[in-house]
Structure 1
Amino acid sequence: MVLVLMIFASCSDDNNIDLSNRKFVRIDQSSISMSIGEKMKVTATVDTIKGDAYKLSWSILDPNIAKVDNSNNNEGIITAVAAGKTVVKVESTDGKLMYFADLTVAAGAPAIKILTIGSGSGNDATVSYLQNLVKAAGKSLVIGNLYLDGASLEDHSKNISQNQAMYKYNRIAIDGSENLLNDKQLKSVVKGENWDYISIEENMPLSGKPEGYQAYLSGILEHLKKYATNPDVKYILHQPWAYAKNATDAGFINYNRNQESMFRAIVDAVSAAASSVNMDIVVPSGTAIQNGRPAILAKIC
């Protein structure tokens, strides 16, 4: 199926071309792949020299394969209904501008897709066991771990605003195979797959300090919600764990090198932050690890 882009512009053999009528509409994805039951948000942009406003309408060539919600002018929410191939169309209501994107719907239920964004703790928490746990429940899972070693919420905020390509991205496919890429942008990774869950975390030294959450978490969430393609995505705040009792990390001084104090500070800071931004889920990894530290190793763990 061939992608068709129709641009309506006046042409002239005169070398002095009038650009005032140059305008077009486009979708942020020229080819869309989904599974039955999946929902995806696609966004259209109208570019004009004059900046004219256009009202847009969305449609699906074969409504037996997918449906689209027209409730938002520049966004269409596609729901995959049956396996097959069709075309998504967006056009201005005056019929002057239109754009087409190929849509393929695969048979079978979609895999669960989880993206973690952080300093590396999320990668540590998911890479070894989560895939097998989900498989045991009869589900399939795709994991994306986007991280920058030691990055704080402040670092993520700056990287987002400056669109920095500096992250490591470890994608774990349904079969468990890993693909580690470097120099990735947060925006491109968030938009690159239809994530069901997106997790964010503070780095360990600052995880029990409320200031970073208060200053940067809501802004980061605002960007994530703008980039995410799944209209039903759930946002997770990951709770890091306290350092081992014999840790020599510089950040441990923030808690007077007291593991229990650090753990309590993390619990309080994460709980307050999650409430302040109405986070959908808190994953209490820190609590699980603290509770699982055996008494026999209490002096060092």
Structure 2
Amino acid sequence: FIMRVSRQFYRFSYVFLIFAAMLLAFTACEDDDIEEPLSAVALDLDYAHMVVGNELTLTPLIRNFKTASKEYQWAVSDSTVIEIVSVASNYAATVRAIGEGTAIASIRTVDGTEEASTTIETNLIMESEVRLPATITAYTQSIVNIIPDFNLVERPVRNYTWSANPEGIISFETDPETYEIEIQGLQEGTTELTIRSDDGQVVGSTKVIVENENDGILKVLAIGNSFSEDALESYLYGLADAAGEEIVIGNLYIGGAELDLHAQNAAENAGSYSYRKIDLQGNKNTTADVAISTALDDENWDYISFQQVSQKSGQYETFVTPLTELYEYVVQNVDNSDTKYLLHQTWAYSENSTHSGFVNYDNDQIQMYESIVDAYDQAGDLINTHSVVPAGTAIQNARTSYLGDNFNRDGYHLNEIGKFTAASTWFEILFDQSVLGNSYVPEGFVPLDAEIAQHAAHEAVQNPMMITELTDYQTAGGSGVITKNVLIDFATSSNSTGWNGLTSFLEDATIPNLKYEDNEFTGIELTVTSRFNGQNTAGETVTTTDLNMPAEVSGNSFYGNSKGEWAGILVEKGVLKLSGFESDSTYEFCFFGSRTATDNRETLYTVIGQNSDSATLNAASNTDEIACVQGIQADENGEIFIEVTSGLNNDNANGFFYINAMRIAPEE
């Protein structure tokens, strides 16, 4: 019995001990759940390192759902080292380092029962170098800005002072935060401009050269192509010089360049240009592979012009993006804040133009002209345009004269009288004075034609948006009877004294009124009725014929190819028509053809009027032979035709034939 009781007691005691242990464990767990420690909120960083001026975001982690709805606030232990910039809705704080040292950023509940913190160590990075341009060119009455380039930092940390030695050459103002300096030239001279940190650790200097803004020299730069070449490079200097004006002319040239290409070249600082520059003495120098920025730095430009490529000049939408981009680049890279900006209005093509871009205007000259005027007028509002140079209107005005549609050498580029017309327009815009009466008449020009060009330009400046008919210049006179020698040369750039230049080889190209060597008019018109292939410039330049040709006459020709295509064209014969004869007089026609070659390039010249006759010569390396036909009388319509083709002995595979010069002489 005792043993049985003992076993039962033992079992009972064992069970009781297990129960007591479980109760104790349960009680301990319940006590843990009731106690809330201060670490119920924490931060994602315990320590951080920052550079003065930088910012850091600290995000709190709420670890107890019972306290998530409590309100928190941030504090810093040292406000000279860090500051709280902003606090988001989730209590994430943006901290900025404002000074060197160590500080603690803390977040705690408003009642103070919860808190977390991050220790932040900061250090200050200071610039150790400042870079300035080696030299700066400034101008009296103009402002130049220089932005110092500090290393290591976006904004300088040290304090700086600018100084100039000697004083009095420039004045300046300084931005106290960036230390950008605005320089005003006071007088001509050179000074050393220095920026120095107050602690003397960082120093930079540049040489400032001040030139006289009012030096009386007008400087103009075109960013263009062959159309700016036509307008600026031939006759503008002569017009300025005759008016007693000093001028420097620059042209950044790429053939066929459009605004898109100029804008791209600017963005890439591409050295893609032929930089043509005409100096104070009228000497022209050309430098290859020049960037826009280089030309901008070359002179203190008073005017800079922009233009669109000719086939797009009547399409306003092609201006919008590239013109604004190019303009902004140029403005940022010129030293002269007084520079004025021009738009060079191009001209419509001749009616006989074969340019592929003519289809943009339905091959209609007036439609093209009106589109160009409208496009440039709108483009003027895209940039700070001082003026549109209305060269296109000037050319269109000139076409209303007796000269007609004869201002192009190939259907789109200008011939010599066209160039003079465009240059006269530029003269009026640049110098703000009338070109009428300007004494400059280029050698070889008929004075009447120069007068027409000047009036066309003057009227264009007065009325740039419309065509002004030159009613006083509808005829040049002449009897219709040739009484003296008439000399004609065939070259797209023709301006030889005493010679009539046929400057286009295309059908309908015209010399409206042939002149004698003394510039009197005959009343006879010369027209191309069947085109030539093109111009050749490889003729002999030293000749011994009685035509007494200058090199520019004998060395250039219009050519055709009667046997095989050349440049995609077969020209079996070129045909000229003389019209306006008023009598039954008879005439002698003499021809010269020349092209450096070794094969036989015999050319046949046939003159057809009331009667006809032919003559031949071998143009291959010809220096002394001319072909003449005598006794030709105009037909009943007062017309004589001249056919030019290859002769029977021509053994060139393409059948090339040439006409360089022609003389019409009266017979007794």
Q: Structure 1 length as normaliser, TM-score?
A: 0.81
Cα distance in 2, alignment partners of residues 185 and 226 from structure 1: 15
Contact 1:42 1:78 in 2 (8 A): no
Quote how far apart the aligned CAs of 1:23 are: 3.5
Change over 3 Å in CA distance of 1:260–1:59 after alignment to 2: farther
Change over 3 Å in CA distance of 1:94–1:153 after alignment to 2: farther
SS at match of 2:156: coil
Question: How far does the alpha carbon of each residue in 1:238-276 deviate from its partner, in whole angstroms, 9 at most, with x for none?
Answer: 101111121111111111111111110000000011023
State the AA in 1 paired with 2:364. Answer: N
Contact 1:207 1:269 in 2 (8 A): yes
Cα distance in 2, alignment partners of residues 25 and 167 from structure 1: 33
Contact 1:89 1:101 in 2 (8 A): yes
Change over 3 Å in CA distance of 1:45–1:108 after alignment to 2: closer
Contact 1:25 1:91 in 2 (8 A): no
Question: How far does the alpha carbon of each residue in 1:118-162 deviate from its partner, in whole angstroms, 9 at most, with x for none?
Answer: 122222211122223333444322111102110111111222222
Cα distance in 2, alignment partners of residues 150 and 144 from structure 1: 18
Bigger helix fraction: 1
Q: 2:388 aligns to what?
A: 282
Answer yes or no: is 1:119 the counterpart of 2:222.
no
SS at match of 2:130: strand
Match of 1:204 among 304, 310, 334: 310
Quote how far apart the aligned CAs of 1:107 are: 7.1
Q: 1:154 aligns to what?
A: 260
**Taking every aligned residue pair, what percent have the same amino acid on both sides?**
33
Contact 2:259 2:319 in 1 (8 A): yes
SS at match of 2:295: helix
Quote how far apart the aligned CAs of 1:106 are: 5.7
State the AA in 1 paired with 2:328. Answer: E
Q: 1:66 aligns to what?
A: 170
Cα distance in 2, alignment partners of residues 49 and 203 from structure 1: 45
SS at match of 1:276: coil
State the AA in 2 paired with 1:62. Answer: P
Quote how far apart the aligned CAs of 1:231 are: 1.1
State the AA in 2 paired with 1:48. Answer: N
Match of 1:229 among 320, 335, 351: 335
Cα distance in 1, alignment partners of residues 306 and 130 from structure 2: 34
Q: How many residues align?
A: 279
Q: 2:135 aligns to what?
A: 31
Question: How far does the alpha carbon of each residue in 1:80-117 deviate from its partner, in whole angstroms, 9 at most, with x for none?
Answer: 41x44332334457754332223344679422221100
Cα distance in 1, alignment partners of residues 319 and 190 from structure 2: 44
Cα distance in 2, alignment partners of residues 254 and 183 from structure 1: 32
Contact 1:170 1:179 in 2 (8 A): yes
Answer yes or no: is 1:53 the counterpart of 2:156.
yes
Change over 3 Å in CA distance of 1:246–1:77 after alignment to 2: farther
Change over 3 Å in CA distance of 1:284–1:98 after alignment to 2: farther
Contact 2:341 2:384 in 1 (8 A): no
Cα distance in 2, alignment partners of residues 265 and 92 from structure 1: 59
Q: 1:131 aligns to what?
A: 237
Question: How far does the alpha carbon of each residue in 1:45-86 deviate from its partner, in whole angstroms, 9 at most, with x for none?
Answer: 3131243436765543233333334469434333141x4433
Q: 1:175 aligns to what?
A: 281
Cα distance in 1, alignment partners of residues 244 and 155 from structure 2: 51
Contact 2:137 2:335 in 1 (8 A): no
Contact 2:398 2:404 in 1 (8 A): no
Cα distance in 1, alignment partners of residues 131 and 402 from structure 2: 62
Match of 1:101 among 199, 206, 223: 206
SS at match of 2:289: strand
Q: 1:3 aligns to what?
A: none
SS at match of 1:116: strand
Contact 2:138 2:144 in 1 (8 A): no
Q: 1:17 aligns to what?
A: none
State the AA in 2 paired with 1:43. Answer: I
Answer yes or no: is 1:85 the counterpart of 2:85.
no
Answer yes or no: is 1:220 the counterpart of 2:326.
yes
Cα distance in 2, alignment partners of residues 91 and 121 from structure 1: 50
Contact 1:86 1:103 in 2 (8 A): yes
Change over 3 Å in CA distance of 1:300–1:113 after alignment to 2: closer
Map 1:216-295 onto structure 2 (within 5 A).
216-295=322-401
Change over 3 Å in CA distance of 1:40–1:239 after alignment to 2: same
SS at match of 1:248: coil
Cα distance in 2, alignment partners of residues 75 and 225 from structure 1: 18
Q: Structure 2 length as normaliser, TM-score?
A: 0.39
Q: 2:249 aligns to what?
A: 143
Q: 1:12 aligns to what?
A: none
Quote how far apart the aligned CAs of 1:212 are: 1.0
